[in-house]
């Protein structure tokens, strides 16, 4: 029910009562414009004057009768110029009557999901506020040709006095009985669509200087009151971190300070005061680390400036320095001198693969592709930002990892995403304070990844999504990218005298303290305290400088730059600081292009505004580099130069505001010493009632969120762009089967390809050592299933607070598993990233840690992409084989999960046999003996068989008694055990003898055949224990995420 008339000139309440505002007032000078002319101007520009215009105040409204759909009513004569100084054009885009409004329908569904059932409908309006030197015909051309899809949309135009008053101007067909909500970005927050629109206008109408802002208006009809509309706004329509839904005069800029920097009294601070300085300034440093700072400044005989404190905090953050995995860790049995050095890098060093070109040294790992090209691969985490702003957090996670690839000079050719959320049907009433609903988080995160990758023109073709209640407070986002670079174009050493060039987007207040925020746990206050830590992305901006960077790399006989670095976590502080760690640098911060006023030097230095990179450019190449970036309409600004004395000198308007030793900055951090313990959890095997028919159990697993089809997500991603994707994420006759990975063809003149896959199952985290082995085995076997070999790995740990000994103990165990797995399979780690403190603190002080989560990504080589194998069955009458041993390993299985069981053995890996059987399978694939191959993972043999069947459109008839097994197993175990290192294979009868010869000596068995009947039948000693039509299996698998 509407509280007030939406057409009332005084406006109506939107948002909490304390945030209501009075209508905007236009003051007209009677001396400048006589009443008669004013009345005429206002009438012709859509203003309503309810009282005599001879008054000096005119309250504004909007008369739909003056602005027709698709037509602009032009001002009379040139009298509009008297209003231009306080006005702008507003263009409203709406869907035509009878056309579907997908945005409105989506919001309607989300409102219902929120538990508000009385909303009848929602209609959406896209709003563009455009100011500049425009005539009515200009704005009509822009609206018609650029902003509106005339097939399904229509536009209206009005002249308004301010961006703040859209609700007072009756936008569109306002109707009684509806609420009107206007949303837009906060001031200073990057508005990517506005930037693109502005550029489009400047191309469409050359010579015009314009400014654009965008927003949305929602018309919401139904019997709902103020409390419900506020809930809808704050839970669905806006993210308060980056958007406002009603504020009139919000401005985050508090004014210009009278001095450039603040001096912090560190020298006189006692222990309590040191802790308070760290807390109050959100430095996220321990008392030992604050004490080391104090010692440094005692030697210098002065106190630090704020920018120096901030620079050290960024560099020493958990995110940038990986303090925990580099720490000395004492366990009851031993001392581990760095998890990273001992286990992850230790495995790579021991293997010593010559095709590893650069590992753990740069923004991404590099391995050899062929004689000319190298592959760059990196997977990053972006968990905390996604918890607060799912769309922006996940999107900038992708943008950041693309820049990691660009940071080694490579061109991104693939995007990957592995995501973990709370259950999509999680009850709203159980949500902790300050936590968004998992379904909203998932939808927004997927949209962020979609928009960034698609707009950058980078295919997203590999990933996974998992769900568990322990991700409700802290979702996990693993964003990855793969790129290619000529081996002789990789450079990474700046020289003294090289110019520091900042390229890409402008610097703002978004993202300040991002890395220190990521080093802390989340709670209900994070939404407020960490508001500035969230970054806002603009993929179009990144696309422009990415194209320019590749040109700068390839022009001439060597790159025009000597080093390049992503300006991500820690901003300029980390990017320039890391580039200068051996030689030093000087930076003029006032030369940094800003997108808002009121920024102090330390804000400029640590801001994590997106779409920025730093280049080291020899002076003689500076003109060429600036010309290239101008050609792509991307900013490139010299802001300093590299030195040769090991000092980092920061200036602002000619004044030195900070000076640090790079030696102290990068090597002064005190080594952390931590305690860890791990006691292996022991669970008795649950009593599971055996039955004669498991068809319903198979259907339950297929429909469970972890196993169900993610086609709703995958179809949003462009996995065809760049024309390199040979094997796509969805496979089979209907292109809807779940592939084990993807295959790319990086070169257009070669059949040699790259295979990308991943593995990980947090449900195995009760035994972190076995979980790590399982993740490695899954990532590799997914790669092998497609034809991959010569595989390199990336590790990504997402854990809880490492200050808890049990959390750290499980991390040590998982790292130990990584070492053993990598050594056994001969697969070196080339890069990785850990993300710690993934916990949500509840009001009572207890916490919800995420499931200890390890994701392993694998990149392999396939000599000929034409020999790649997919998972869908190819024809009836072929033979079905299983490779690998099924064991009584039901711990963490999806059969147990859907039936509420807990306990049993977590799957392990036979580290001697598995690598040998994988190599044999690769030989069989190379000989063309395998028609289809699918790994057995979540849901075991039964799920793998169902997926192969409905993907290919052919049935299967399988006998459980024939599968290789250790010991006597129940039917439920044979069907649903998730034992590692297993594949289900389709082989033609004429190739059976040759296949069995290649696989001799390994645990492989012929267990059935494919059929022309579209039915899956699994028997136990000739008695059917699973029997279902393929269509029923497919429909069950697909319906969960038919959103």
Q: Which residues are catalytic?
A: 319, 382
Please enumerate, as own/partner, the contacts of 136-144 that have beta carbons within 8 Å and a separation of 24 or more.
136/72, 136/73, 136/74, 136/75, 137/72, 137/74, 138/205, 138/208, 139/72, 139/89, 139/91, 140/71, 140/72, 141/204, 141/205, 142/91, 142/201, 142/204, 142/205, 143/72, 143/91, 143/93, 144/70
> Distance (Å, rounded) from C-alpha 644 to C-alpha 976?
63
Q: Which long-range contacts does 230-233 make (Cβ < 8 Å, 24+ apart)?
A: 230/15, 230/16, 231/114, 231/116, 232/111, 232/114, 232/116, 232/181, 233/14, 233/15, 233/181, 233/183
Q: Identify whether the C-beta of residue 809 lies closer than 8 Å to the C-beta of residue 889.
A: no
Measured CA to CA, the distance from residue 489 to residue 240 in angstroms comes to: 44
Q: CB–CB of 245/218 below 8 Å?
A: no
Task: Determine what percent of the chain falls in helix, strand and coil, rounding each to the nearest 5.
Answer: 35, 25, 40
- Using DSSP, state whether 530 is helix, strand or coil: coil
E strand or H helix at 637, and its extent? Answer: strand 636-642
Cα–Cα separations (whole angstroms), residue 702 to 462, 707, 731, 871, 933: 20, 6, 17, 17, 19
Name the token pair of 255. 């004014």
Q: How many CB atoms lie within 10 A of CB 339?
A: 27
Nearest to 799, CA basis, from 767, 830, 836: 836
Q: What are the helix (H) ranges across 581-670?
A: 601-606, 622-631, 662-667
Locate 934 and state its tokens.
């699918």
- How far from 245 is each of 16, 448, 573, 669, CA to CA, in Å? 11, 20, 34, 44
Query: What is the 3-state secondary structure of 392-405?
Result: HHHHHHHHHHHHHH
680 burial via Cβ count (<10 Å: 0-12, 13-18, 19+): exposed
Nearest to 171 by CA among 60, 19, 40: 60
Q: Residues near 114 by Cβ (< 8 Å), separated by ≥ 6?
A: 231, 232, 235, 236, 428, 437
Query: Alpha-carbon distance 451 to 438, whole Å?
Result: 20
E strands of 653-788, at which residues?
655-661, 673-675, 725-727, 730-731, 737-738, 742-744, 753-759
| Residue 357 phi, psi (nearest 5) | -90, -40
The tokens for 369 are 């592709």
Q: What number of other Cβ atoms are within 10 A of residue 689's Cβ?
A: 6
With beta carbons less than 8 A apart as the criterion, state whether 896 and 904 touch.
yes
Cα 714 to Cα 222, 445, 598, 914, 936: the distances in Å are 34, 13, 42, 31, 21
Residue 645 and residue 586 in contact, taking contact as beta carbons nearer than 8 Å: no
- Name which of 989, 954, 960 is nearest 872 in CA terms: 954
CB atoms < 10 A from the CB of 513, how many? 28
Rg of the Cα atoms in the chain: 30
Q: CA 229, CA 227: separation in Å to the nearest integer? A: 6
């Amino acid at each position: 029910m509407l509280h007030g008339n939406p057409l009332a000139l005084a406006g109506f309440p939107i948002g909490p009562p304390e945030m209501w505002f009075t209508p905007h007032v236009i003051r007209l000078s009677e001396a400048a414009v006589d009443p008669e002319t004013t009345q005429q101007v206002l009438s012709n520009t859509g203003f309503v004057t309810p009282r005599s215009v001879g008054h000096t105040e005119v309250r504004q409204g909007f008369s739909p009768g003056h602005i027709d759909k698709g037509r602009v009513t032009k001002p009379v004569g040139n009298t509009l110029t008297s209003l231009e100084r306080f006005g702008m054009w507003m263009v409203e885009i709406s869907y035509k009557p009878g056309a579907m409004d997908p945005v409105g329908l989506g919001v309607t569904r989300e409102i219902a999901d929120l538990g508000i059932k009385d909303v009848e409908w929602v209609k959406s309006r896209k709003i563009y506020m455009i100011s500049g030197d425009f005539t009515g015909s200009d704005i009509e051309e822009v609206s018609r040709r650029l902003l509106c899809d005339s097939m399904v949309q229509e536009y209206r135009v009005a002249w308004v006095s301010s961006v703040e008053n859209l609700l007072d101007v009756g936008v569109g067909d306002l109707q009684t009985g509806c609420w009107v909500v206007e949303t837009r970005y906060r001031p200073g927050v990057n508005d990517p669509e506005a930037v693109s629109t502005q550029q489009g206008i400047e191309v469409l109408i050359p010579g015009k200087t314009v400014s654009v802002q965008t927003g949305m208006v929602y018309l919401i009809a139904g019997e709902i009151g103020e409390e419900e509309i506020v809930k809808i706004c704050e839970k669905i329509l806006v993210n308060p971190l980056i958007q406002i839904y009603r504020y009139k005069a919000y401005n985050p800029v508090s004014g210009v300070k009278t001095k450039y920097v603040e001096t912090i009294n560190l020298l006189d601070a006692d222990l309590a005061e040191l802790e308070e300085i760290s807390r109050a300034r959100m430095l996220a440093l321990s008392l030992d680390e604050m004490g080391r700072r104090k010692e440094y400044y005692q030697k210098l005989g002065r106190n630090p400036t704020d920018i120096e404190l901030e620079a050290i905090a960024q560099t020493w953050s958990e995110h940038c320095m990986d303090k925990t995995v580099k720490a000395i860790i004492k366990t009851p049995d031993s001392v581990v001198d760095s998890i990273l050095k001992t286990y992850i890098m230790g495995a790579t060093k021991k293997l010593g693969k010559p095709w590893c070109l650069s590992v753990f040294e740069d923004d991404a790992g590099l391995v050899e592709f062929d004689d000319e090209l190298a592959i760059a691969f990196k997977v990053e985490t972006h968990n905390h930002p996604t918890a607060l702003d799912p769309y922006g957090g996940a999107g900038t996670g992708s943008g950041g990892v693309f820049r990691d690839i660009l940071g080694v000079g490579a061109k991104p050719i693939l995007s990957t995403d592995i995501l973990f959320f709370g259950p999509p049907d999680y009850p709203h009433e159980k949500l902790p304070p300050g936590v968004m609903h998992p379904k909203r988080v998932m939808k927004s995160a997927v949209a962020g990844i979609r928009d960034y990758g698609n707009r950058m023109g980078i295919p997203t073709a590999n990933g996974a999504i998992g769900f568990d209640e322990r991700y409700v407070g802290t979702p996990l986002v693993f964003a990855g990218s793969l790129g290619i670079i000529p081996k002789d174009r990789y450079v990474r050493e700046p020289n003294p005298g090289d110019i520091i060039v900042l390229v890409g987007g402008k610097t703002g207040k978004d993202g300040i303290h991002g890395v220190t925020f990521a080093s802390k746990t989340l709670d209900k206050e994070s939404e407020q305290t960490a508001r500035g830590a969230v970054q806002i992305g603009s993929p179009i901006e990144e696309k422009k400088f990415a194209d320019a960077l590749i040109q700068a790399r390839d022009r001439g006989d060597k790159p025009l730059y000597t080093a390049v670095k992503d300006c991500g976590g820690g901003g300029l502080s980390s990017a320039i600081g890391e580039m200068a760690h051996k030689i030093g640098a000087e930076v003029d911060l006032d030369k940094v292009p800003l997108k808002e006023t009121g920024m102090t030097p330390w804000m400029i230095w640590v801001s994590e505004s997106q779409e920025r990179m730093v280049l080291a450019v020899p002076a003689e190449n500076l003109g060429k580099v600036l010309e290239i970036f101008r050609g792509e309409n991307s900013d490139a600004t010299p802001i300093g130069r590299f030195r040769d004395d090991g000092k980092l000198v920061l200036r602002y308007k000619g004044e030195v505001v900070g000076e640090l030793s790079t030696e102290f900055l990068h090597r002064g951090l005190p080594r952390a010493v931590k305690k860890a313990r791990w006691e292996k959890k022991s669970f008795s095997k649950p009593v599971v009632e055996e039955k004669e028919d498991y068809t319903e159990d198979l259907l339950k697993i297929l429909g469970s969120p972890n196993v169900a089809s993610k086609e709703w997500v995958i179809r949003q991603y462009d996995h065809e762009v760049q024309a390199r994707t040979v094997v796509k994420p969805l496979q089979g006759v209907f292109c809807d089967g779940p592939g084990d990975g993807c295959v790319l063809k990086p070169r257009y003149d070669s059949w040699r390809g790259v295979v990308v896959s991943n593995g990980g199952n947090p449900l195995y985290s009760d035994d972190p050592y076995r979980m790590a082995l399982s993740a490695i085995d899954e990532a590799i076997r997914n790669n092998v299933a497609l034809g991959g070999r010569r595989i390199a790995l990336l590790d990504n740990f997402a854990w809880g607070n490492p200050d808890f000994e049990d959390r750290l103990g499980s991390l040590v165990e998982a790292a130990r598993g990584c070492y053993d797995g990598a050594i056994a399979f001969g697969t070196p780690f080339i890069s990785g990233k850990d993300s710690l403190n993934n916990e949500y603190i509840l009001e009572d002080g207890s916490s919800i840690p995420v499931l200890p989560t390890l994701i392993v990504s694998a990149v392999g080589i396939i000599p000929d992409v034409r020999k790649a194998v997919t998972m869908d069955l190819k024809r009836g009458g072929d033979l079905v084989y299983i490779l690998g041993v099924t064991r009584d390993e039901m711990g963490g299985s999806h059969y147990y999960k859907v039936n509420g069981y807990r306990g049993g053995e977590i799957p392990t890996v036979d580290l001697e046999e598995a690598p040998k059987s994988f190599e044999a399978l690769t030989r069989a694939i190379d000989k063309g003996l395998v028609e289809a191959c699918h790994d057995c993972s979540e849901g075991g043999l039964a799920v793998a068989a169902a997926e192969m069947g409905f993907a290919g459109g052919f049935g299967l008839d399988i006998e459980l008694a024939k599968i290789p097994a250790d010991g006597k197993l129940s039917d439920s175990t044979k069907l649903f055990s998730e034992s590692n290192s297993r594949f289900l294979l389709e082989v033609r009868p004429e190739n059976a003898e040759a296949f069995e010869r290649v696989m001799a000596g390994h645990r492989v068995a012929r267990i059935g055949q494919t059929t022309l009947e579209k039915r899956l039948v699994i028997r136990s000693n000739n008695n059917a224990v699973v029997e279902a039509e393929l269509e029923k299996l497919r429909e069950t698998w697909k319906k969960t995420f038919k959103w």
